Amino acid sequence: MKTLVPILGDQLSHGLASLRAADRRTAVVLMAEVAEEASYVPHHKQKLVLVFSAMRHFAEELRRDGWTVDYRRLDGPDAPGSLTAGVEAAVLRHGVSRIVAVRGGEHRVIAAQQGWGRFGVPLTLLEDDRFMVSTAAFEGWAQGRKRLRMEDFYRWQRAETGVLMEAGQPLGGQWNFDKDNRKSLPKGMPVPAPPRFAPDAITQEVMALVNDRFPTNFGTLQQFNWPVTRAEALVALERFVADRLVHFGDYQDALVEGEATLFHSLVSTSINLGLLSPRECIDAAVAALETGAPLNAVEGFVRQILGWRDYVRGIYLREGPDYVHRNALGATRPLPEFYWTGGSGMRCFDAAFEQTRDLAYAHHIQRLMVLGNFALLAGVDPHALHLWFLIVYADAYEWVEAPNVIGMSQYADGGLLGSKPYVAGGAYLSRMGNHCGSCRYKVKEKAGPDACPFNYLYWDFLARHEADLSKNQRLWTVYDGWRRFSPERQAEIRADAERFLATVC
């Protein structure tokens, strides 16, 4: 029985369920670079290079392993325009008698895959079992709960998997060590550089293709340094565990001028593509406890993957396609132009922007507390911000990006993910980082044209949403602070915010 096995660009795992279900002697693997996937949003150039290069390398590896691979290049003859067109043509071309595929990551692709049954041969869509939790298990966890909080999910996962558990209790007597993980980086402390992956001939060929076909897409390619094979991804993971994990916890929330990566792992692109499994990343970090990695670092890293990653996927699948359109706070401001050009004048913002443009990467705190925080304070339309985040990062796929943007960062789901909006003024940014020293604005000034915009935008946001948000117990103290300002001071803050926003949006 000849089987067609379509493999998507983020399904680059040798243990993929559809490969396990097929026989390499009779199967044809279909991989296709298609215009539809390359342009459903105008991806950062580095993301396009990463996905296509990783796809081409993976196809070569499959062939070496004895699989027949029908690989369709974007610039090749008969390039299909969409995944669906590619599958339809391949069914005819190879005379297959069934299609076996793994369900895609996002609603748009799943809906397209469900239509593949109309091509006259039986279709089997398998669960993507490369996650820590199946969709059914997530549903079982979520059913009947009043609130779906990450911390509850994470503790359940720790108990289920036994990761960092000892005799049924969390290792070290605590579920998380967040309070230890908020240090700013001491001046002069060296940060080990991540490994370099020089673009090989395949990657260089793809770079030329992307420059030719997508010349106006956002981002630059000069500093492209993403692992494009499993072998490279393993090196990235090993080097993170050996060199940077030790301080991952301590400086997890730090923001440092000239340090794009700090002690973060840079493994998201590899896990999301399937080059690494979440479990092996977790295991590598846990094993480092034996060689002296501190528990606050290991637990902090494990929580991001065992907790956050599977949690946001579960929320995304459960909430359905309309989740990306939620707008609980009714924010309508267009995305400021400086999200595309930089030059905001706010150094923390511009630093995050510049590395986003040049590396297709910003670490979590830059995404949440700088780029996301600014948009939330400014009242930017969450859908516009969602599209921006989907476009600009090399690790961006809707299933992981949307809950982080719509839920965690913008509170646009009305508190499904977070118990309160993640907002902060300049004092937080100054405490966690060193950008303020070289900023044209003054973080200590609270009013007037030189004051840090995060200062007055913070209060303006709270004032705008006082009717709703002041009911939230976690914000009572903050609102007490707002109410202690004189009416004149409040009016001055609001006028500063209005003046600033009128110039940028």
Q: Is position 268 an interface residue for ligand FAD (rule: CB under 6 A)?
A: yes
Q: Is position 453 an interface residue for ligand FAD (rule: CB under 6 A)?
A: no
- Footprint of ligand DLZ on residues 41-60 (CB under 6 A)? 43, 48, 51
One of 3, 409, 430, 434 touching ligand FAD (CB under 6 A): 409
Q: Is position 465 an interface residue for ligand DLZ (rule: CB under 6 A)?
A: no
Q: Considering CB distances under 5 to 8 angstroms, the limit depending on partner class, which of ligand DLZ, ligand FAD, none binds residue 315?
A: none
Q: Considering CB distances under 5 to 8 angstroms, the limit depending on partner class, which of ligand DLZ, ligand FAD, none binds residue 436?
A: none
One of 37, 299, 395, 401 touching ligand DLZ (CB under 6 A): 37
Q: Considering CB distances under 5 to 8 angstroms, the limit depending on partner class, which of ligand DLZ, ligand FAD, none binds residue 8?
A: ligand DLZ
One of 67, 248, 263, 397 touching ligand DLZ (CB under 6 A): 397
How does 356-373 read in b/e, with b if 16+ C-beta sit within 10 Å? bbbbbbbbebbbbbbbbb
**Least distance from C-beta 391 to ligand DLZ, angstroms?**
11
Return d(Cα 104, Cα 213) in angstroms, integer: 25
Q: Considering CB distances under 5 to 8 angstroms, the limit depending on partner class, which of ligand FAD, ligand DLZ, none binds residue 104?
A: ligand DLZ
C-alpha torsion sign, points 380, 456, 255, 357: positive
Spatial CA neighbour of 214 closest among 41, 69, 386: 41
Q: Considering CB distances under 5 to 8 angstroms, the limit depending on partner class, which of ligand DLZ, ligand FAD, none binds residue 356?
A: none
Q: Considering CB distances under 5 to 8 angstroms, the limit depending on partner class, which of ligand FAD, ligand DLZ, none binds residue 33?
A: ligand DLZ
3-state secondary structure 450-489: CECHHHHHHHHHHHHCHHHHCCCHHHHHHHHHHHHCCHHH
The answer to whether the CB of 228 falls within 8 A of the CB of 53 is: yes
Sketch the per residue contact string, 344 through 363, with ligand FAD: x for CB under 6 A, - otherwise.
-------------------x
Q: Considering CB distances under 5 to 8 angstroms, the limit depending on partner class, which of ligand DLZ, ligand FAD, none binds residue 344?
A: none
Which value, in Å, is the radius of gyration of the alpha carbons in the chain? 24
Contacts with ligand FAD: how many residues (CB under 6 A)?
A: 28
Q: Is position 265 an interface residue for ligand FAD (rule: CB under 6 A)?
A: yes
Q: Is position 381 an interface residue for ligand FAD (rule: CB under 6 A)?
A: no
Name every residue whose Cβ is closer than 8 Å to that of residue 96 and which is 6 or more positions away in sequence.
Answer: 2, 3, 4, 28, 90, 121
Return d(Cα 279, Cα 264) in angstroms, integer: 18
Q: Is position 266 an interface residue for ligand FAD (rule: CB under 6 A)?
A: yes
The vertex-234 CA angle with 233 and 239, nearest 5°, equals 100
**Least distance from C-beta 124 to ligand DLZ, angstroms?**
18
Measured CA to CA in angstroms, residue 311 lies from 87, 130, 137, 142, 400 at distances of: 31, 14, 11, 10, 9
Return d(Cα 34, Cα 89) in angstroms, integer: 13
Percent helix, strand and coil across the chain, each rounded to 5?
55, 5, 40
Spatial CA neighbour of 227 closest among 192, 260, 195: 195
Count Cα atoms within 13 angstroms, Cβ side, for 161. Answer: 22
Return d(Cα 60, Cα 64) in angstroms, integer: 6
Cβ closest to ligand DLZ, residue 9 vs residue 278: 9
Give me the sheet containing 3-6, strands edge to edge: 68-72, 27-32, 3-6, 98-102, 123-126
Task: Specify the 3-state DSSP secondary structure of 157.
Answer: helix
Q: Is position 218 an interface residue for ligand FAD (rule: CB under 6 A)?
A: no
Sketch the per residue contact string, 70 through 109, with ligand DLZ: x for CB under 6 A, - otherwise.
-------------x--------------------xxx--x
One of 4, 34, 281, 329 touching ligand DLZ (CB under 6 A): 34
For ligand DLZ, which stretch binds (CB under 6 A), given 3-11, 179-187, 193-201, 300-308? 3-11
Q: Considering CB distances under 5 to 8 angstroms, the limit depending on partner class, which of ligand FAD, ligand DLZ, none binds residue 9?
A: ligand DLZ
Phi-psi category of 322—alpha, beta or left, where left has phi over 0 and alpha has psi -120 to 50?
alpha
Residue 284 CB-density burial (10 A; 0-12 exposed, 13-18 middle, 19+ buried) = buried
Tokens of 23: 């026989």
Q: Is position 33 an interface residue for ligand DLZ (rule: CB under 6 A)?
A: yes
Q: Is position 12 an interface residue for ligand FAD (rule: CB under 6 A)?
A: no
**Least distance from C-beta 173 to ligand FAD, angstroms?**
24
**Residue ranges binding ligand DLZ (CB under 6 A):** 8-10, 32-34, 37-38, 43, 48, 51, 83, 104-106, 109, 397
**Residue ranges binding ligand FAD (CB under 6 A):** 264-268, 271-272, 301, 304-305, 308-309, 312, 363-364, 367-368, 372, 389, 393, 395-396, 400-401, 404-405, 408-409
